[in-house]
């Protein structure tokens, strides 16, 4: 896997930040200017979306990453250069260091998670996503997870499905292996808690952790950290919608390989 060099076990407090942006609270002019924050490579990838709304979510995620990482490192967004691993996972190519990041978008939110010293993965979905079903997740559930869902009814069942899906997605994205991982052997907790990674060769530490966040009333976020459950970490959540709403930053040429 390509990306930042990180230590699987560390004693200092790991600083984790989760930034989100509501694309529904931005107007068309906001989105036009937000798009200019992307690198030429990111703009080219963004043009491949055939539907406008997913295109806006994707652009907002990368603009959010540039803002969040730039704020963390004290650098202008255009000074950052992103690259992608062979598996397609984005990472910070310049400046190099131990800062890892991950992106997600779903419903009406774009999300960026940062962690200094460990792998991070994030996923977001609306709590009432109707497409999620037991049939869709067939083959991805660990023992006991199906029973957890079937024991619920109505909105509670849908919330349980969203918790399962976002949790597994966040773990898979932190690892970088995506849906090629044996997700049926990775049991994720319903809330915050440990995830045993011994089914994944080379995954260190052997137990990771999952955190559940509610950035607003509608959406649910799962945050995965390749960090032992007893390792100290601080998690801060930022609503960055105001950063892009009504602002008219000048166009800049951002760096990307």
Domain spans of the chain, in order of start: 14-249
Q: Is 97 left (phi over 0), alpha (psi -120 to 50) or beta?
A: left
Q: What span, in angstroms and rounded, lies between the C-alpha atoms of 192 and 210?
A: 5
Q: Is the pLDDT of residue 228 over 90?
A: yes
Q: What residues form DSSP beta bridges with 213?
A: 221
Determine the pLDDT at residue 23. 97
Name the least confident of 136-150, 186-200, 204-218, 228-242: 136-150
CB atoms within 10 A of CB 186: 24
Residues 6+ apart with CB under 8 A from 194: 207, 208, 209, 210, 229
Band of the pLDDT at 226, cuts 50, 70, 90?
very high
Q: Is the dihedral of CA 19, 171, 187, 8 positive or negative?
A: negative
Q: What residues form DSSP beta bridges with 62?
A: none
Convert the pLDDT of each residue in 166-208 to its tens digit.
Answer: 999 999 999 998 888 999 999 999 999 999 999 888 899 999 9
Q: What span, in angstroms and rounded, lies between the C-alpha atoms of 30 and 49?
A: 19
Determine the pLDDT at residue 11. 53
Q: Is the pLDDT of residue 5 over 80?
A: no
| Angle, vertex CA 114, rays to CA 70 and CA 119, nearest 5 | 135
Whole-model pTM: value is: 0.90
Convert the pLDDT of each residue in 67-121 to its tens digit.
Answer: 999 999 999 999 999 999 988 899 999 999 999 999 999 999 999 999 998 999 9
Determine the pLDDT at residue 129. 87
Determine the pLDDT at residue 7. 46
Sheet-wide strand order for 90-94: 90-94, 81-84, 255-256
- The terminus-to-terminus CA distance of the chain in angstroms comes to 17
Determine the pLDDT at residue 180. 86
Determine the pLDDT at residue 9. 46
Architecture of the domain delimited by 14-249: Alpha-Beta Complex (3.90)
Task: Tell me if 139 sits within 8 A of 96, measured CB to CB.
Answer: no
Please state, for a pLDDT cut of 90, what percent of the chain lies above it.
78
Task: Tell me if 240 sits within 8 A of 68, measured CB to CB.
Answer: yes
Q: What span, in angstroms and rounded, lies between the C-alpha atoms of 196 and 198?
A: 6
């Amino acid at each position: 896997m390509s990306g930042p060099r990180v230590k699987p076990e560390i004693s200092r407090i790991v600083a984790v930040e989760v930034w989100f942006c509501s694309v529904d609270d931005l107007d068309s002019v906001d989105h036009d200017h937000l798009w200019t924050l992307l690198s030429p490579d990111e703009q080219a990838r963004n043009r491949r979306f055939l539907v406008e709304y997913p295109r806006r979510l994707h652009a907002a995620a990368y603009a959010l990453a540039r803002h969040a990482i730039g704020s963390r490192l004290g650098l202008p967004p255009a000074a950052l250069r992103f690259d992608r691993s062979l598996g397609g996972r984005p990472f910070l190519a310049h400046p190099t260091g131990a800062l890892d990041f991950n992106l997600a978008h779903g419903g009406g939110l774009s999300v960026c998670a940062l962690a200094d010293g460990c792998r991070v993965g994030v996923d977001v979905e609306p709590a009432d996503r109707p497409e999620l079903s037991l049939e869709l997740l067939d083959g991805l559930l660990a023992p006991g997870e199906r029973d957890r869902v079937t024991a619920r009814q109505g909105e509670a069942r849908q919330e349980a499905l969203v918790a399962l899906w976002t949790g597994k997605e966040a773990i898979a994205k932190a690892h970088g292996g995506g849906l090629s991982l044996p997700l049926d052997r990775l049991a994720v907790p319903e809330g915050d808690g440990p995830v045993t990674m011994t089914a994944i060769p080379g995954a260190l530490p052997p137990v990771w952790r999952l955190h559940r966040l509610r950035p607003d009333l509608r959406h649910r976020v799962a945050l995965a950290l390749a960090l032992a459950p007893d390792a100290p970490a601080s998690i801060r959540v930022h609503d960055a919608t105001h950063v892009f709403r009504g602002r008219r930053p000048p166009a800049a040429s951002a760096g990307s390989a």
